[in-house]
Amino acid sequence: MHKKVYWRGASALTEKKSTMADPGTTRGKSRGAVVDGADDLVLPFSTDRSGIRGRIVRLGAVVDMVLTRHDYPDAVSEALGQALALTAMLGQPLKPGGRLGFQTRTDGPIRFLLADYEAPGRLRGYASFDASKIEAMGLRPSQGELIGSGHMAMTLERAGEDDRYQGIVALDGQSLGAAALTYFRQSEQLPSYVRLAVARQRVQGGDGWHWRAGGLLIQHPTAGIEDDDSPTAPPDQEDWQRARILAATVEDHELIDPTLSAERLLFRLFNEEDVRVYQGQPLDARCRCSLERVQMFLSRFTPEDLEGLREADGRTAVTCEFCNKKYYF
């Protein structure tokens, strides 16, 4: 009996000084780089009035490539798509060579999710799941039910530094968005708001259905950690509450609409806050696997183990779990 072998492989913002009117309206002004119609990018922004900072991500071909390589069940694709969107937003500030890893390990039908961002802009990810358990749950189980209990970890590696930083959050039946808020509260101790959206859409004039994903993250660098809605809240808290309410008006379909640019959506949400956008980071679906890396992986096996891994034709096949590419030896 032959075994299948799988290999996992184990910044400052540059502001554009131009000023422009929103491309879809004559109201107000949005200051920053023109990225209208752009896809597969993370766009950082800030607001002058409320002093928030944030990032918005739009994923088209990148998330579709990652998800369709594996033909996951829709529920698994949606969860991994959210993980990719979140990881891209969090990894965007890293300097070239830096990495951010996102991982969940739980007892639910989706046993673990793994998304990896390598600066500048390289994304990859995959999921492990129990298909029979997902099917037994029927139509539209909640994401919390699919993920179950366990933990979520964020691992940060900065370029040129040997030390790694890892933040771990317990998961107990909540969505990835809710777990991310817990992570921000515990690890960064900043009031935060995050919204993630994933769906499969039929593009007009295109060739069938394609996955899209989007996300919005805002944080207030000075507001207190408590969310105080009282009329006596300090000025920075009032600013935060106002910005959070505006951010919460975003709809899932707006985050993934291919006809609505990231900049135009930011103007819709925060034009009264004097939103300022910065240089966007393009994203690419790129795996780190290579023939040399897989050879190094196989060199750890004993000759006896390698013999047991051979296929009927005498070759050893190794499949990369991220991109599903096969290597033969």
**What does the pLDDT look like over 45-80, one tens digit per residue?**
999 999 999 999 999 999 999 999 988 999 999 999
Could you tell me if residue 31 is inside a domain? no
Q: Is 110 inside any structural domain?
A: yes
Domain, as residue range, for 312: 291-328
278-294 pLDDT tens trace: 999 999 998 887 888 87
Residue 118 included in any domain: yes
CATH code of the domain containing 67: 3.55.30.10
Both 204 and 295 in a single domain? no
Q: Is residue 46 located within the same domain as residue 178? A: yes
The pLDDT > 70 percentage for the chain reads 84
* Residue type for position 15: E
One domain for residues 270 and 302: no
* Identity of residue 112: F
In-domain check, residue 27? no
Question: What does pLDDT average to over the chain?
Answer: 83
Q: How many domains does the chain have?
A: 2
- What are the pLDDT digits (tens) for 125-160? 999 999 999 999 988 899 999 999 999 999 999 988
Residues 262 and 298 in one domain: no
Strand partners, 54: 45, 218
Answer yes or no: do 212 and 306 share one domain: no
Out of 23-32, 75-84, 136-145, 211-220, least confident range: 23-32
Judge if 320 and 220 occupy the same domain: no
29 pLDDT more than 70: no
What is the per-residue DSSP string for 262-319? HHHHHHHHHGGGTEEEB--EE-EE-----HHHHHHHHTTS-HHHHHHTB-TTS-BEEE
Same domain, 276 and 316: no
Asked whether residue 69 is domain-assigned, the answer is: yes
Find, among 173, 179, 178, 200, the residue nearest to 72 by Cα. 200
- Do 203 and 240 belong together in one domain? yes
Q: What is the pLDDT of residue 30?
A: 40
Q: What are phi and psi of 284, to 5 degrees?
A: -140, 140
